[in-house]
A and B are shown apart, each in its own frame.
Chain A
Amino acid sequence: MFRARHDTPPEDGVTVTIDGHDVTVPPDTSVAAAALLAGLDHVRTTPVSGTPRAPYCMMGICFDCLMEIDGVPNRQACLEIVRPGMTVRRQDGARSLGAAP
């Protein structure tokens, strides 16, 4: 569905794990963009109705790109830049109380 405007030489790419799949994206890519490049058709389901949602505004306003990043739930994926080895998961409904690292 989405593709990068420029191919990135593999040696410059950053590899992150999104929903169990390794994805290599250009440096300075947001996690939301990485999720779209990885082919996810939604990144979360809403807490109340369970509706699937994907990144929308890409600038920190709409909160529709919430994902679990390195174990921390409900992060705004459009405001997080990929780091090598990052583990990103879909945010399925409401978070649990659980511990944050």
Chain B
Amino acid sequence: MVQADVVVIGGGIIGSAIAYGLRSLGCDVVLLDEGDVALRAARGNFGLVWVQGKGLGMRRYAEWARQSADLWPAFADELHARSGIDVAYRKDGGLMLCLGEDELNRRRWELAQLTHQAGPDGYDCTLLDRQQVQELIPDAPLGDEVSGGSYSPHDGDCNPLRLLNAVHHAFRAVGGQYRPDHRAETITREDDGFTVTANRTVFRAAKLVLAAGHGITHLAPQIGLQVPIHPERGQVLVTERVRPFLRLPINGIRQTDEGTIMLGSSAEDVGFDERTTADTMRHIADRNLRALPCLRHLRLNRVWGALRVLTPDDFPVYEQSVSHPGAYVATSHSGVSLAAIHAGPVARWIADGEEPSEFNQFSTKRFHVSGTA
């Protein structure tokens, strides 16, 4: 039997960031992970550290995403110092491109809503006309259909694979226990905490964090929670390396620090099917070539599919179980953008009970509509 202060279930970017944060606060932490073959959204990620557009319909989430972006520069530096890995984070702002007048009008409406929702704090994102977009990315001539876009100075990007690796390395460097090939099977409540059985080993801890992505579906009921999540497939195309020409990440197009161009984004409801399809690849290529026709001569090196972890409203869930105090669940589609806040405030909430303001908005109660008249 292995004893710890906290057992974190899920070694993707969310569980790892929380485990790293808990260990940094002095907790004795065991991180249980699956093996190489796992539904792992963190390995399919596009790499945006993004704020603009998030939280439309939930002001608290818009603030939350912004707060994480504010924490990211120090987080990236700390990871570098502790892991020796540079996650290639840059925060020069980010662009969203619109094709045609309808998309631009929709973006104008979304930004107006977000600004209204933000109240006196304001919402720091600017609507741009076509010429202003072009001035921001002068070496990437825009396609004829580009009508404009929006710019946020808080957006950025990173190398998501290096991020996952860096968080794992940093977690172990500060004394965390990482257990790959330990898929959590059962959770049992004890008088003074929880036991988790994984790979024929029993782990005991006073606290338990469930951050297992799609694994949450069958594990959450064991801590008295119902967390409705579903998969959504995204496919990503990657080109050969090119000399730097795109100085800002765009929704759907970004140039990595090593020169490849990543192209997205798609959304398909196909259950747990991670495969790639020619139709979707064509759709992604077509959309992005309409935005930046200068990409048309580049050859593709790789394509992959991965499954997003989505709640019914796409916003995160953070909740401590009422029936199983000491057991927590955390899930979000934005594990990279929120990595800094997971390693900081979320870890403090779990370790010390320091609850962020209005945090109950992130509970699953919002999905359980009561029959009030």
Q: Mark B156-195, 1 if CB is under 8 A from A, else 0.
A: 0000000000000000000000000000000000000000
Most buried by A among B241, B245, B294, B298: B241
- Within 8 Å of chain A (Cβ to Cβ): is B322? no
Q: Given known contacts A47-B241, A93-B243, is B259 in contact with A98 (CB within 8 Å)?
A: no
Residue ID in chain B nearest A46 by CB atoms? B241
Number of A-B contacts (CB under 8 A): 31
Residues of B within 8 A of A96 (CB): 242-243, 245
A47-B258, A47-B259 given; A100·B242 CB < 8 A: no
Q: Report A-chain residues with C-beta under 8 Å of the C-beta of B368.
A: none
Nearest chain A residue, comparing its CB with the CB of B240: A74
Judge if B302 is at the interface, Cβ distance under 8 Å. no
B240, B241, B297, B299: the one within 8 Å of A98 (CB): B297
Which residues of B are found within 8 Å of A94, using beta-carbon distances?
241-243, 259
Q: Which residues of B contact A100 (CB under 8 A)?
A: 297
Q: Are B243 and A97 in contact (CB under 8 A)?
A: yes
List residues of chain A with CB within 8 A of the CB of B241.
47-48, 94-95
- A1: CB under 8 A from chain B? no
Could you tell me if B240 and A48 are in contact, using CB atoms closer than 8 angstroms? no
Complex Cα gap A100–B294 (Å): 11
Taken residue by residue from 85 to 98, chain A's Cβ proximity to chain B (1 for < 8 Å, 0 otherwise) reads as 00000000111111
Chain B residues contacting A47 (CB-CB under 8 Å) are 241, 258-259
Which residues of the other chain, A, contact B297 by a CB distance below 8 angstroms? 97-100
- B221-246 interface with A by 8 A CB criterion: 240-243, 245
Say whether B240 contacts A97, CB under 8 Å: no
Whole-angstrom CA separation of A94 from B260 in the bound complex: 9
B interface residue count range (under 10 / 10 to 19 / 20 to 34 / 35 or more)? 10 to 19
Select from chain B the residue with minimum beta-carbon distance to A49.
Answer: B258
Interface members, chain A 55-75 (any B CB < 8 Å): 74
A97-B258 in contact (CB<8A): no
Q: Specify the chain A residue showing the minimal Cβ separation from B244.
A: A94
Q: How far is the CA of A47 from the CA of B242 in the complex (A)?
A: 8
List the B residue with the shortest CB-CB distance to A95: B242
Q: Which residue of B lies closest to A66 (CB)?
A: B240
Question: A47-B258, A94-B259 given as contacts; is B299 within 8 A of A74 (CB)?
Answer: yes
List, in ascending order, chain B residues with CB within 8 A of A48's CB: 241, 258-259
Which A residues are in CB contact (< 8 Å) with B245? 96-97
Q: Which residue of A lies closest to B140 (CB)?
A: A97
List CB contacts (< 8 Å) of A14-66 with chain B.
47-48
Q: Which residues 314-350 of B sit at the A interface, judged by CB distance below 8 A? A: none
**Cβ contacts under 8 Å, B240 to chain A:** 74, 95
Alpha-carbon gap, A99 to B296, bound state (A):
9
Q: Which residues of B contact A98 (CB under 8 A)?
A: 297
CA distance A36 to B187 in the complex (A): 63
CA distance A98 to B241 in the complex (A): 13
Q: Closest residue to A98 on the B side, CB-wise?
A: B297
A100 to B241, CA, bound (A): 15
- A93→B241 CA distance, assembly (Å): 9
Q: In angstroms, how far is the closest chain A Cβ from the Cβ of B90?
A: 16
- Of all chain B residues, the one with the shortest Cβ separation from A48 is B258
B259, B297, B298 — most chain A CB neighbours (10 Å): B297
Cβ of B299: which chain A residues have Cβ within 8 Å of it? 74
Residue of A74, A93, A95, A98 with most chain B CB atoms under a 10 A cut-off: A95
* Bound CA span A68–B150, Å: 38
Q: A residues near B, CB below 8 A? A: 47-48, 74, 93-100
Q: Show 26 A/B contacts (Cβ-Cβ < 8 Å), sorted by A.
A: A47-B258, A47-B259, A48-B241, A48-B259, A74-B240, A74-B299, A93-B243, A94-B241, A94-B242, A94-B243, A94-B259, A95-B240, A95-B241, A95-B242, A95-B243, A96-B242, A96-B243, A96-B245, A97-B139, A97-B242, A97-B245, A97-B295, A97-B298, A98-B297, A99-B297, A100-B297
Q: Which 9 interchain pairs have the tightest Cβ spacing?
A: A100-B297, A47-B241, A94-B241, A94-B259, A94-B243, A96-B243, A48-B258, A47-B259, A97-B294
A47-B259, A48-B259, A97-B245 known; 17 new pairs, CB 8 Å cut-off, are A47-B241, A48-B241, A48-B258, A74-B240, A74-B299, A93-B243, A94-B241, A94-B242, A94-B243, A94-B259, A95-B240, A95-B241, A95-B242, A96-B245, A97-B295, A97-B298, A99-B297
